[in-house]
Structure 1
């Protein structure tokens, strides 16, 4: 009689156990995607702020307001040195949807410039955000040559 080729029940169980062990060791690496998504969102916000401030600066330059040392209005956006100010009528208006998706604290970040605003995920509490490190800080221009400063802290999202 010819013997049939195939797998025994024991061999199949061993393969399933090995696959289960591999899944248990690899699963935590793939389950912690939320912090990566938050960090990417913060980087996206930084890019949106940089892009919006560049566009506003271009419009201010066209209007001849890029060297103004006091608050000026460009396209209904408060600017200083041609860049959006860190106010509700400044960067908040320049970045569409900023106030809808992000919470803001003005000057609450220790060590941040006085003319700055810090943005974090809505639903999080401000003290927790600053101690855990998951926010974007926008500091308005302080001179003609300085431009804006956008700092992302995403080390503990």
Structure 2
């Protein structure tokens, strides 16, 4: 009988399948796909807040409420949005009502009355990472004709 050197085709296929399974399970950890997806979602929320603030300001300007520091509202859809210098107030009754679906997909992780509010993911991010993985909307009613500042904190 002739002695074989090397390995068979079946052994080669089995090794390739095992390496493929290992690569599929390990790749997400090395590529950080989840962190990139979270960061992209936060950037999308920032864009939604920025767009909503512009729409609310336009409506407030039409109604003549853009030069009032606080206490006015505009109706967007069926919601009354509280205003600060014509922009949505930094509260659930301000930017929270201006952005459609905000309360359904996102949760408030930090807020200071009428000056800033931070939103993060409703699920999937917990503990200290929830506050560092957020979008903050801030506007100061004490500053004349203030404009909102919207910032995104990086997910760790």
Fold match by TM threshold 0.5: yes
Instruction: Answer whether contact 1:141 1:149 (CA < 8 A) is retained.
Output: no
1:77-119 CA distance string (max 9 Å, x none): 1111110001121111101221122111313xxxxx9710011
Unaligned runs of 5+ in 1: 1-7, 108-112
Aligned position for 2:134: 135
1:34-63 CA distance string (max 9 Å, x none): 333222221121111111101001111112
1:30 aligns with 2:35: no
Deviation, 1:9, is 6.3
Unaligned runs of 5+ in 2: 1-5
1:106 aligns with 2:107: no
1:59 aligns with 2:56: no
1:79 aligns with 2:83: yes
Instruction: Answer whether contact 2:87 2:147 (CA < 8 A) is retained.
Output: yes
Q: Find 1:92's aligned residue among 85, 96, 120.
A: 96
Instruction: Answer whether contact 1:83 1:141 (CA < 8 A) is retained.
Output: no
Deviation, 1:149, is 0.9
The number of equivalent residue pairs is: 142
**Relative to 1, partners in 2 of residues 1:16 and 1:145: Cα closer, same or farther, differing over 3 Å?**
farther
